[in-house]
Amino acid sequence: QKEVEQNSGPLSVPEGAIASLNCTYSDRGSQSFFWYRQYSGKSPELIMFIYSNGDKEDGRFTAQLNKASQYVSLLIRDSQPSDSATYLCAFQGAQKLVFGQGTRLTINP
Amino acid sequence: DVKVTQSSRYLVKRTGEKVFLECVQDMDHENMFWYRQDPGLGLRLIYFSYDVKMKEKGDIPEGYSVSREKKERFSLILESASTNQTSMYLCASKIRGGWGTEAFFGQGTRLTVV
């Protein structure tokens, strides 16, 4: 079983709608969870992190964590064409930082 | 401004060559990572280091080794390059521990083995 699994893409969402990205993880010792965004040809950059159960909001982005279900998600409200990118979830366990395979998101104008 | 610098943006090597990929960070971070990124497979962890001279295997260490002689520099070594090691290699660094601390990435090295 892979340590991190993301919902398969690609995902296409109309502009202004909510984009929902999901991720499950297998390591119950994981402490922190991250969402990174990667534009084509660029390196990943951090969008949000979360380590407590529940929701965390930052502008149009909301991260949700459910440790009992080993599930973390990212919601993007009012999606914009500039949100088109690959989104990578990651978890940190001890010193290790492990990423999922990524979900390519396209926002259609 | 934080910086992680990889020695080459593009590299072409021949099968069987010994290849060195260098990564330098100027943030005094304890943790450094090497990943490879292939279409549909995301970032796969090759090796990481949490201190000078300390290293841990990631998920796909076969065919690779690493060296960390100084805190700011983490090198990835392909002992005998093979065509299946053609990939984008990304180096990252972050502060040790700390919940929610961000990993900073280099610009990546696209390695082609012919």
pLDDT value of position A1: 60
The arithmetic mean of pLDDT across residues A28-37, rounded, is 86
- List, for residues B41-50, the tens digit of each pLDDT value: 889 999 999 9
**CB contact (8 A) between residue B31 and residue A46:** no
Is the pLDDT confidence value at A30 over 80?
A: no
Highest mean pLDDT among A46-60, A81-95, B72-86: B72-86
Report chain B residues whose CB lies below 8 A from the CB of A65: none
- CA gap A36, B90 in Å, rounded: 14
pLDDT value of position B111: 98
The arithmetic mean of pLDDT across residues A58-71, rounded, is 93
**CB contact (8 A) between residue A45 and residue B105:** yes
Report chain A residues whose CB lies below 8 A from the CB of B41: 101
DSSP state of B80: S
- Classify each residue of B38-70 as buried b or exposed e, where b means 16 or more C-beta atoms within 10 Å of its C-beta: eeeebbbbbbbbbeeeebeebeeeeebebbbee
**CB contact (8 A) between residue B45 and residue A46:** no
**High-pLDDT (> 70) share of chain A, %:** 98
Side-chain half-sphere of B16: how many Cα atoms within 13 Å? 0
The distance from CA B19 to its chain's CA centroid, rounded to whole angstroms, is 12
The order of strands in the sheet holding B19-25 is B4-6, B19-25, B73-78, B64-70
The first and second tokens of residue A70, run together, are: 């080993």
Note down pLDDT in tens along chain B; length 114 residues: 769 999 999 999 999 999 999 999 999 999 999 999 998 888 999 999 999 999 999 999 999 999 999 999 999 999 999 999 999 999 999 988 766 788 999 999 999 999
What SS3 class is residue A81? helix
pLDDT value of position A32: 86
Q: Does residue A103 or residue A8 have the better pLDDT?
A: A103
The arithmetic mean of pLDDT across residues A58-84, rounded, is 95
> How many cross-chain Cβ pairs, A to B, lie less than 8 Å apart?
61
